[in-house]
Structure 1
Amino acid sequence: GNSAESQLLLDKVVEKAKAAKAGTGGGCVGPVIDEVSYTKIMRYIEEAERSDAKILLDGRQTNDYLERTTSGSGFWIGPTIIHHMNSTDAAMKHEIFGPVLSVYTVSSWQEAIDIENNNPFGNAACVYTVNGGAADWFTSRFRAAMLGVNIGIPVPREPFSFGGLYGTQSKYGDMDITGDGAMEFFSNRIKITTRWPFPAEAKEGGVTENGTSHSSGVVDHANFAGRM
């Protein structure tokens, strides 16, 4: 992409992330879930640093977050933005589950698709654009099950299901976890077939004391209904 345009976008992202406040209220960046997660996220950042990636925003050193961690108020890491030089860095390939954004600049759309589709996951992918043709180009080539255009976390609305793509590490089994797939998986289908004869037939035919049926010879015009 255009280096000047991409740098302008990156500068704006860094500026927004830097302004994010630590806390548990709306719009704030909260703590990570536990020490294990904290240590893992720190390791990803350190590994990226050793691989010559540029740490554009270092959440390890942000005062407000650092003070909360050292005071024993949980495990806090500020927003971190890493500009990778190598698309095979661990932080580029793995889902970190932390406030870390990995950035990699590509020279073409095809390079972007190749990087995205060469990872083992196929849960979701998205593209940000004001060009409908560009959106169509990417969504027709992404190897993922949930695709977003100008939506970062493309969880589909009902009745569509949340789930990954077959043949990737984002899909196991036959069903998705929401929508009709979940209803199919978690439900027992009970079938009820009902016969209600017309009143006149009910009087003329019936069941004997020993359980056998008898008929008056009237043609059966009973209504049958099935439901689940």
Structure 2
Amino acid sequence: MTPDLTHFIAGKRVSGTSDRFSDVFDPNAGTVATRVPLASTAEVDAAVADAVAAQREWARWNPQRRARVLLRFLQLVNEEIDALAALLASEHGKTVPDARGDIQRGLEVIEFSAGAPHLLKGEYSTEAGTGIDVYSMRQPLGVVAAITPFNFPAMIPLWKAGPALASGNAVILKPSERDPSVPLRLAELFAEAGLPPGVLNVVNGDKEAVDAILHHPDIRAVGFVGSTPIAEYVYTTATANRKRAQCFGGAKNHAIILPDTDLDRTVDALIGAAFGSAGERCMAISVAVPVGEETADRLVEKLAERTRGLRIGVSSDESADLGPLVTAAAKKRVVDYIDLGVQEGAELVVDGRDFVLDGHEEGYFLGGSLFDRVTPDMTLYREEIFGPVLVVVRAKDYEEALRLPSEHEYGNGVAIFTRDGDAARDFAARVDTGMVGVNVPIPVPLAYYTFGGWKASGFGDLNQHGPDAFRFYTKTKTVTSRWPSGVKDDASSFVIPTMA
């Protein structure tokens, strides 16, 4: 076991003082790799105090100078990306190529955030009234917090930190305690890139640290990604404490398969979207909805063959399609869902519960599982499984297929596979979800668009990355200016000002 991990405060690694730790596992071997300290409320308070002091000077830096730090950070991460991907994969379990993608999607938001000088521009109107000019400016909130999940230990922290830092805020990052090593290393690289000490502090912890963040009066905004129950808790607690909050929760992403689609290409897309990263993605396709019995029969036959042929290996095996789940508890949760699906009467076409990887019998591996003839009343359909499980819900026609994702509790993402442009346009306009893919299985928008789900998948008015992120991390100040010259009669007025 390697030495205990630390926090990162005031530009350096700092040992925990709470005497509470959480185990960090090697999911390939099923053993404890290291321990991470769990911060006390006092430790969070100290980190926030440090951030408050550092943010004042950071906010005085002009946006272009702050952007140069982000550009230098990009260079440093790219120089180290192979080592970072290996480290990420060793704690999470996703394959190294998938881990590189995790980092790269985070860097794309850093690249976008380097455009902060443009994104932070306000508006200006001359002669809004006689001799009156009106202009606005965007200013940082102060200290903000990010509470990020285990499944993207590089991407989501960078999605939060990039716009927040570029806007002139200081950031308290509370990463997942399941795989905290990469966030700590990213903080070090920010410091090497020239970020002043204290502007980005990483505080590891559990619910005590989260609650300390939510109740701290000097933290002005909170961004969260995780499960829906916790997202709702974070949102309601943060807003009750007069903080801005953007909180993203669970998902049940559907893929609608129309009879005219290229079925072989669609199956290729579904296999990767359902089973990549062992299904531990909020944008994973977990429900396939073929329209018509003939389409369904052909789809299930092809999916079953591909599911049985998945290449499962250790996370360092670059030829593997997927690696292990993150913890033993995560694996048990998925197995329990599969057991329940069988009890509820769904047809288990491919059973991945008994998969064992030779030489890694204690690792947290599961094979891919495929269910057919799942109905909307089943738990398999209603709840997020977060594992390598794909369920098929058969729809008799297009309208029924459209209703399924629209009426589901979650509204994160959806995809439609078709050659019919009219059907695709109608579907994109009418479906009640936040993100839509047309012949694209994982519709994650590019960095200059916003990312966010609807209904129980998202809480808050503004989404992640894109222009919304800069709106979230700044406050708008509007100035009405008049410079009177040679005015002889400036008598008091008791009438509300107008543009007349």
Place the TM-score, normalised by the shorter chain, in its bin.
0.7 to 0.9
Contact 2:452 2:463 in 1 (8 A): yes
Cα distance in 1 for partners of 2:329, 2:463 equals: 29
* CA 1:179–1:122: 2 relative to 1, 3 Å: same
The TM-score with structure 1 as length reference comes to 0.74
Cα distance in 2 for partners of 1:134, 1:188 equals: 41
- 1:113 maps onto 2:406 in alignment: no
Contact 1:82 1:103 in 2 (8 A): yes
- 1:87 maps onto 2:387 in alignment: no
Relative contact order higher in (CA < 8 Å, ≥ 6 apart): 2
- 1:11 maps onto 2:298 in alignment: no
Amino acid at match of 2:458: K
Cα distance in 2 for partners of 1:85, 1:176 equals: 32
Indicate which of 30, 37, 48 corresponds to 2:341. 48
Amino acid at match of 1:33: V
* CA 1:162–1:85: 2 relative to 1, 3 Å: closer
Point out the structure with max Rg over C-alpha. Answer: 1
Contact 1:48 1:84 in 2 (8 A): no
Cα distance in 2 for partners of 1:116, 1:43 equals: 24
Indicate which of 451, 461, 468 corresponds to 1:181. 468
Contact 1:163 1:176 in 2 (8 A): yes
The TM-score with structure 2 as length reference comes to 0.35
Computed over aligned residues only, the root mean square deviation of the Cα atoms, in angstroms, reads 2.4
Amino acid at match of 2:304: V
Amino acid at match of 2:464: I
Contact 1:80 1:99 in 2 (8 A): yes
1:86-106 per-residue CA deviation (whole Å, 9 max, x = no partner) reads: 222112122211110011111
- Overall identity of the aligned pairs, in %: 26
Indicate which of 13, 32, 35 corresponds to 2:328. 35
Cα distance in 2 for partners of 1:115, 1:190 equals: 43
Gaps of 5+ in 2: 1-290, 480-500
SS of the aligned residue for 1:33 comes to coil
Indicate which of 148, 154, 162 corresponds to 2:451. 162
SS of the aligned residue for 2:457 comes to coil
Cα distance in 1 for partners of 2:354, 2:430 equals: 39
1:144-199 per-residue CA deviation (whole Å, 9 max, x = no partner) reads: 1111111111111232100112xx1122122112111112222466899xxxxxxx
1:18-61 per-residue CA deviation (whole Å, 9 max, x = no partner) reads: 11111123442111111221111111111110111111111112
Contact 2:293 2:396 in 1 (8 A): no
Contact 1:59 1:80 in 2 (8 A): yes
Higher helix share: 2
Cα distance in 1 for partners of 2:450, 2:373 equals: 33
Q: 1:69-218 counterparts in 2 under 5 A?
A: 71-72=361-362, 74-165=363-454, 168-187=455-474
Contact 1:161 1:177 in 2 (8 A): yes
1:95-140 per-residue CA deviation (whole Å, 9 max, x = no partner) reads: 2111100111111111112221111111111111111122122212
Gaps of 5+ in 1: 193-228
Task: Specify the alignment match of 1:221 in structure 2.
Answer: none
Amino acid at match of 2:460: G
Cα distance in 1 for partners of 2:293, 2:303 equals: 15
* CA 1:63–1:171: 2 relative to 1, 3 Å: closer
Amino acid at match of 2:435: M
The Cα shift of 1:9 comes to 1.8
Cα distance in 1 for partners of 2:379, 2:437 equals: 24
Cα distance in 1 for partners of 2:328, 2:400 equals: 36
Task: Specify the alignment match of 1:217 in structure 2.
Answer: none
Contact 1:129 1:135 in 2 (8 A): yes
Q: Give the number of aligned pairs.
A: 188
SS of the aligned residue for 1:12 comes to helix
Cα distance in 2 for partners of 1:175, 1:99 equals: 31
* CA 1:63–1:36: 2 relative to 1, 3 Å: closer
Cα distance in 2 for partners of 1:33, 1:159 equals: 30
Cα distance in 2 for partners of 1:12, 1:63 equals: 24
Higher strand share: 2
Contact 2:292 2:395 in 1 (8 A): no
Amino acid at match of 2:323: G
- 1:22 maps onto 2:312 in alignment: yes
SS of the aligned residue for 2:430 comes to coil
